[in-house]
Amino acid sequence: MSNTTELLQHGAELFPGEVVTTAHVRHLDLPLQAGKLALITLDNGFDHTKPTTFGPGSLLKLSAALDQVEAEAAEGKIVGAAITGKPFIFAVGADLKGVELLQQHADALAIGKGGHEVFKRIAALPVPTFAFYNGAAMGGGVEVGLHCDYRTVSAGVPAFSLPEVFLGLVPGWGGCTILPNLIGAGKAVKVIIENSMNQNKQLKGKDVFELGIADAIFEPADFLEQSLLWAARVLKGDLVVEREAIDRGKAWDDAVLWGRMVADGKVHGAAPAAYKALDIIAAVKDADLADKASLQAGFDAEDAALADLIMSGELRSGIYAFNLVQRRAKRPVGAPDKSLARPVSKVGVVGAGLMASQLALLFARRLEVPVVLTDIDQERVDKGVGYVHAEIDKLLGKGRIGQDKANRLKGLVTGSLDKAAAFGDADFVIEAVFEEMGVKQTVFADLENVVSPTCVLATNTSSLSVTEMASKLKHPERVVGFHFFNPVAILPLLEIVRGEQTDDASLATAFAVSKKLKKTSVLCKDAPAFVVNRILTRFMGEIQNIIDEGTPIASVEKAVEPLGLPMSPIMLLELVGPAIALHVSETLHGAFPERFTVSENLGKVVKAGKRGFYTWVDGKQVLDPEVLELLTFGDSVLTEEQVLSRALEAVAQEIGLMLAEGVVAEAQDIDLCMITGAGWPFHLGGITPYLDREGISERVNGKKFLAPGVASVPAQA
């Protein structure tokens, strides 16, 4: 163990700020007179809001605990050993703050080897070992349990996953090697690849049991007691754990092939983590959990993959993106002091169309205050309220809310044609009407006559000037941009826009409401199209220009695949809607005619009432021949490399100009917006780390967007 200890001690020196997890050992007399069990509890000394992690110092503590347990087992003082966690948390894996600090490949390799060597000691104990997954378990937290002989899980576990591929890593402490040999390659690929690449989808306790990762499941109230009783029965031989036989033939190969198809569909070969994980899974096909030595080749491959990925730009970008959504999103830069926020006890929604109805549902569910919709006639109002009530019934049908909650939420959402009666006592009114400046100015003028002096007036505009919208009011200081992204219930981003006269109290109220809505808020200057729509419109505009000039649509679509975007540009156009895309491009063309064009072809698509460039034929998506007949193309055909370069250079230029204008505080806010509002991939870190890494930022703007060590490997001292 001296070599492992030296490795981890060196790692601890590199990471002096680690929150160290202690491994407490206590001894319990098992039920049924089964003997004495050594129970190791992982605990970092904080409550569940600061989850337990594994850094080098934590691994040293676990290793020291295993020294004691190993000696006790050798002396016959215990009949078994088990690992569990503090209340609500088992362990959530490696401490990413430490990973960020690593500067050398050798140090990254040491972290992988150190974790393996400690976890392997659990499997090598001369007594049966158990993992009691009592709470959230992720990454290394899952893997430490995989090294045990048996596992139980609480039915109350809310989150269980191997999220490494999502971040740009592989499960590197046994996950890629042990899990497929425990539950089969197909199920393992689902957990390691498919779930991870599906926005880090989490398993619940029931899923963990049904997949065969855990051998037994118990209710949270008496989870430890039941787990100890179950362990006692296993140790006495009263209960024999039977697991499904693993198919190591074609099914294993098919699972790996399926994983590659999933990875190709998500990142198109542009990010290495998923492929490295699949290579390891393929290589451990003939391993045997009963023969610990046969697992070593897989562990060695995990070490190598982990070290290579830790020293990659993709991984640093993944950690950067993770930190943005976990930390920066919780403390919006530039938000006024929250003490200035006014209470909101009633919300008004102007409009009763689909967007307005989605907003009404969100406000009612999150704020649990009365929400009133208005529109120009009773039929529209009834339709909007009916939509909200129907969505609440769907939640009830899925078991996500109970009958009492459903009745209460329905009672909160009403409609009215009388704005004075509806909004007279409202504290926050948002408009979601047609995207036309004159219409919105009229709406706000009408509202000002009926709302209280302190009521905040919010606009869900996607591109129009908040300042101009408020300019004809007696109190423009109460108007704030509150731009949601569709679908409202899914995309987290909320661009909060400060008009030139918006006051701190109104802005603080907007941020407070956003927090209650559980949205990710980013403060934006009142600039055309704000952040996401401005960047996407520049990107899509360049793509549209390239198509109009003569490059085939299929070639353009293929050219941008390396970005690993959630959908192709042409599919995004269909999702947004050609009419909206055209409107935003016209708005931005009016503001910046030298950079934003208005495509005649797109105008023709809108005029023809088409939803996009594609249609469905015999269950397959193909280019719509009726749309193609409408369009005219030039004869300039670019290569795929030229297409991607031109589109990204346009984006890099636009982001540089936005930062110079102060649209947001920093490049980090651009990335936070693109990740949470446009689904831009985690493995890119949003957009600016990718532009930096590919050399595009410097080529276009003469400098990188981010400082060295931010979303990149730190320079060596």
Nearest to 308 by CA among 284, 277, 287: 277
- Residue in the block written with tokens 């070969």: 269
Q: Over range 192-201, report the average pLDDT.
A: 92
Q: What is the dihedral of CA 362, 367, 368, 370, to 10 degrees?
A: -80
Question: For residue 619, what are the contacts with CB-CB under 8 A and spacing of at least 6?
Answer: none
Distances from the Cα of 518 to the Cα of 275, 394, 581, angstroms: 34, 21, 27
- Predicted confidence (pLDDT) per residue in 630-663, tens digit: 999 999 999 999 999 999 999 999 999 999 999 9
Phi, psi of 501 (to 5 degrees): -115, 5
Give the number of other Cβ atoms within 10 Å of residue 145's Cβ: 31
Nearest one of 38, 20, 16 to 128, comparing CA atoms: 38
Segment (H or E) for 199: none
Alpha carbons 120 and 135: distance in angstroms, whole number:
23
pLDDT score at 573: 85
pLDDT band (50, 70, 90) for residue 100: confident
| Residue 450: predicted pLDDT | 95
Would you state the pLDDT for residue 261? 95
pLDDT reading at 717 higher than 60? no
Q: Assess contact for 220 and 19: CB atoms under 8 A.
A: no
Mean pLDDT value across residues 368-384: 95
Terminal-to-terminal C-alpha distance of the chain: 30
- Given a cut of 80, is residue 14 above it in pLDDT? no
State residue 660's pLDDT score: 97
Is 281 a residue whose pLDDT tops 80?
A: yes
- Secondary structure (DSSP) of 599-637: -HHHHHHHHTT---SEEEETTEEEE-HHHHHH----S--
Look at strands 520-525 and 479-484 and give their pairing.
unpaired
What pLDDT band is residue 486 in, cutting at 50, 70 and 90? confident
Span 511-564, pLDDT tens digits:
999 999 999 999 999 999 999 999 999 999 999 999 999 999 999 999 998 888
Q: Residue 601: which pLDDT band, with cuts at 50, 70 and 90?
A: very high
CA–CA dist 370, 413 (Å, integer): 6
Query: What are the backbone angles phi and psi of residue 304, rounded to the nearest 5°?
Result: -65, -45
Tokens of 91: 């362990």
| Nearest Cα to Cα of residue 531 among 333, 677, 644, 645 | 677
Q: Would you say residue 97 has pLDDT above 90?
A: no
Q: CA-CA-CA-CA torsion for 83, 89, 92, 94, nearest 10 degrees?
A: -60
β pairing state of 80-85 and 129-133 = parallel
How far apart are the C-alpha atoms of 618 and 501, rounded to whole Å? 55
H or E element at residue 661: helix 640-661
Mean pLDDT of the chain: 93
Task: Determine the average pLDDT of the residues in 596-611.
Answer: 92
For residues 612 and 573, the answer to whether their CB atoms sit within 8 Å is yes
Element spanning 483, H or E: strand 479-484
Tokens of 507: 């802005």
Q: What is the pLDDT of residues 71-93, one digit of tens each?
A: 999 999 999 999 999 999 999 98
% of the chain beyond a pLDDT of 70: 99
pLDDT at 716: 61
Q: Which pLDDT score is estimated for 1?
A: 40
Residues with Cβ within 8 Å of 555's Cβ and at least 6 positions away in sequence, in order, are 637, 638, 640, 643
Pair 133, 157: CB distance under 8 Å: yes
Distance, CA of 270 to CA of 60 (rounded, Å):
36
Helices (H), 550-577: 553-559, 569-576
Q: Quick one: pLDDT at residue 137?
A: 97
Contacts of 574 (CB under 8 A, 6+ apart): 611, 612, 613, 614
Residue 31 pLDDT more than 60? Answer: yes
- Percentage of the chain lying above the pLDDT 90 cut: 78
| From 8-17, 307-316, 354-363, the region with the lowest mean pLDDT | 8-17
Three-state secondary structure call for residue 525: strand
Residue 293 pLDDT exceeds 80: yes
pLDDT band at 712 (very low <50, low <70, confident <90, very high): confident
Helices (H) and strands (E) in the chain, counts: 32, 19
Cβ-in-10-Å burial (0-12, 13-18, 19+) of 294 comes to: middle
Question: Is residue 429 pLDDT above 70, yes or no?
Answer: yes
Q: What is the reported pLDDT for 354?
A: 92
What residue has token string 């619940």? 204
For tokens 């050398």, name the residue: 104
Two tokens, residue 153: 């899980």
Q: What angle do CA 281, 102, 162 make, to 5 degrees?
A: 30
Sign of CA dihedral 129, 135, 137, 140: negative
Whether the model pTM is above 0.85:
yes
CA 143 vs CA 118, 192, 469: distances in Å: 12, 12, 55
Residues 6+ apart with CB under 8 A from 321: 671, 675, 682, 683, 684, 685, 686
Q: Single out the residue of 91, 275, 76, 246 nearest to residue 168, CA to CA.
A: 275
Question: Could you tell me which of 586, 204, 662, 548 has the C-alpha nearest to residue 399?
Answer: 204
